[in-house]
Amino acid sequence: MEKRTFLQTLLTMGLSTAFWQELSALDVSSEYKILSDIQDDEKFWKHIRSLYMLKEEYINLENGWYNFLPKPILKAYFEQVEKLNREATYYMRTRLFDDNIEIRKQLAQVVGCRYEELVITRNTTESIDTIIIGTDWKPGDEVIFNAQEYPAMIDMFKIQARRYGIVNKIISIPNNPKSDEEIVEIYRKAITPKTKMILISHMINITGQILPVKKICDMAREKGIFTIVDGAHAIAHIDFKISDLNCDVYASSLHKWLSVPLGAGLLYVRKDKIKDIWCLFGETGYPDDDIRKLNHTGTHPAHTVLTIPASIEFYQNIGAKRKENRLRYIQEYWTQKVRNLPNVILNTPEQSERACGIANVGIKHIKPADLAKILLEKYKIWTVAIEHPEVQGVRITPNVFTTTQELDRLVQAVIELSKT
């Protein structure tokens, strides 16, 4: 869209501020050109930071719920909102279907699977609960998952237990494992001839621990057990291919690390398993083995989906490996400084391959909710408290705009509070 038209549209919407002027003046392709020309790593990340509209009141270390949008994606999003409002149902009836296929293809390339095995949903919860509720359960079927899985999935299994008499085996995994085998063994020991399904997070949301999902999926496949990987935090955070994991289902929220506007997720189902899943919303227009039967979500904010290519472009201009390395670097930057202090509990593994950007820290004598409150009120650091039987602390989730100076403030706070 022409710059003038874009600004005029926003002005007629009554949104006349410096914010909109800044956004409309942004030349996205020249920003990306600058990025590709920068050699120095710190300068590169400084430029990335300049693409975000950050609040000065606090340091934002809570980017785990969702990643708010950098300016290029925000601009693309507003353009899509404007387009859908202008072209209205004409666009929906003549173009959306084809555009959706094209976007699925782009996304499939980023996440490493065939586009025929992937649909765009609204979030991880919808993706995984669709599979759980669409499974043909028999009384006595057993499911294995660990106690740190996301509550919406645990609850959905509990509902199936009430409805169909399935048995949920909830296992416990260590926050600081010594090896992959230690984890795999915990899952292996819980398997019986009745085990039908294993749910496992790729990256645990409350601690950031990365689990050896491929090894667990390999073991499960040998025994004919169906696997669901909850990858809410892994897509566009760590660099991998879904097809390498050997899972039956992979689910993620694209509004997290891919920085898609709120309300976008993905669901991957291995081709030969699609036919076994019942759909959640009525849809008989596709063959049983076509994944689109699981994607009849009704009318939804299509402009969110249409912004996915802009989010992919932003991600690719950073580079998948470069982003993963940066996020791990900044996590280790602060955790290494506090891990061995008296009264400090690091709920995130130390070995580099077992975590990336997210980590969780607790202080023995301070409740998580109090710790989060003190961090905000005294140190101006925004985090989230985690109160879980296995994890007590605050979750620290930096993002690509986070600086080491900001993390120095966190380190100083943890050191001071650990001595109180």
Ligand X SMILES: Cc1ncc(COP(=O)(O)O)c(C=O)c1O
Q: Are 128 and 199 a contacting pair, CB within 8 Å?
A: yes
Q: What mask of x and - would describe binding to ligand X in positions 286 to 305, judged by CB under 6 A?
A: --------------------
CB of 272 to ligand X, least distance (A): 25
Residue 230 binds to ligand X (criterion: CB under 6 A): yes
* Cα–Cα–Cα angle for 181, 397, 208, rounded to 5 degrees: 10
Helix, strand, coil abundance in the chain, percent, nearest 5: 50, 15, 35
3-state secondary structure of 385: strand
d(CA 78, CA 342): 49
Residue 259 binds to ligand X (criterion: CB under 6 A): no
Residue 399 binds to ligand X (criterion: CB under 6 A): no
How many residues sit close enough to ligand X to count as binding (CB under 6 A)?
11
d(CA 96, CA 110): 21
Taking residue 12's Cβ as centre, other Cβ atoms within 10 Å add up to: 9
* Cα–Cα–Cα angle for 307, 125, 85, rounded to 5 degrees: 30
* Residue of 9, 63, 124, 227 that binds ligand X (CB under 6 A): 124
Burial, 255: exposed, middle or buried (Cβ in 10 Å; 0-12, 13-18, 19+)? Answer: buried
d(CA 331, CA 210): 14
Residue 348 binds to ligand X (criterion: CB under 6 A): no
Beta strand 344-346 with 359-363 is: antiparallel
CB of 126 to ligand X, least distance (A): 7
CB of 206 to ligand X, least distance (A): 8
* Residue of 63, 135, 227, 253 that binds ligand X (CB under 6 A): 253
Residue 216 has which token pair? 């667990």
Residue 207 binds to ligand X (criterion: CB under 6 A): no
| Candidate segments 118-126, 182-190, 319-327, 405-413, binder of ligand X by CB under 6 A | 118-126
Residue 397 binds to ligand X (criterion: CB under 6 A): no
d(CA 107, CA 127): 16
d(CA 166, CA 150): 19
Binding to ligand X in span 68-97, by CB under 6 A: none
* Residue 253 main-chain phi, psi, to 5 deg: -110, 120
* Residue of 74, 144, 232, 414 that binds ligand X (CB under 6 A): 232
d(CA 360, CA 347): 5
| Candidate segments 73-81, 133-141, 228-236, 304-312, binder of ligand X by CB under 6 A | 228-236
Q: Which residue of the chain is nearest ligand X when measured via CB?
A: 205
* Residue of 9, 24, 100, 125 that binds ligand X (CB under 6 A): 125
CB of 349 to ligand X, least distance (A): 16
* Residue of 60, 80, 123, 135 that binds ligand X (CB under 6 A): 123
Binding to ligand X in span 44-73, by CB under 6 A: 65
Query: Scanning the structure block, which residue is given the tokens 């490996």?
Result: 321
CB of 124 to ligand X, least distance (A): 4
**Nearer CB in complex with ligand X: 262/279:** 262
**Nearer CB in complex with ligand X: 125/402:** 125
* Residue 86 main-chain phi, psi, to 5 deg: -85, -50
3-state secondary structure of 186: helix
Residue 360 binds to ligand X (criterion: CB under 6 A): no
* Residue of 80, 135, 201, 418 that binds ligand X (CB under 6 A): 201
CB of 357 to ligand X, least distance (A): 13
CB of 263 to ligand X, least distance (A): 9
Q: Are 312 and 110 a contacting pair, CB within 8 Å?
A: yes
CB of 261 to ligand X, least distance (A): 12
Positions touching ligand X (CB under 6 A) are: 65, 123-125, 150, 201, 205, 230, 232-233, 253
